[in-house]
Amino acid sequence: MLFHTFASQDERRKFGGSDFVELQLCKLNRGTELEKIVSNEVIPHWKNDSLYVYGDDLEEFHAIYSRIFKDGYYANGERGMIDVCGINYYTLEQTMGIVEVLKREKPKDFQVLLAWLADGEKYNGLYLLGV
């Protein structure tokens, strides 16, 4: 399984320490400036409602999902492919595009990701936070 959820951070630590990429919904208000959205100071890491990809699965995740998670914003405001060591932010529009691709292409373990994104339109996009 590529995607994991945890009931607590203690459960996450017991499973794999901190060797995870974290998928997190951006809960900042719509209209927040991009510079603030991609700032380390406003992103709380290790949320219980996040979805996680274990480090041992990163190569497979990247092989399958890198073409779906493209053009995310980095902390410096640039855009590009997944940076597994940094901040990747996807706008609400990009997030809804990811949902459509998941529904159409059905990549491995997409059901878990799709279910997790079910309420995504309530938020201001999506973070993929590197290890």
Instruction: Say what the pLDDT of residue 59 is.
Output: 96
Hunting for tokens 């890491």 — which residue is that?
45
Q: Pairing between strand 79-80 and 72-73?
A: antiparallel
pLDDT of residue 17: 86
Residuewise pLDDT in 10s, the chain (131 residues): 999 999 999 999 999 888 999 999 999 999 999 999 999 999 999 999 999 999 999 999 999 999 999 999 999 999 999 999 999 999 999 999 999 999 999 999 999 999 999 988 899 999 999 97
Cβ burial 58-85 (10 Å sphere, 16+ → b, else e): beebbebbeeebbebbebeeeeeebebe
CA distance 105 to 61: 15
Give the per-residue pLDDT at 33. Answer: 97
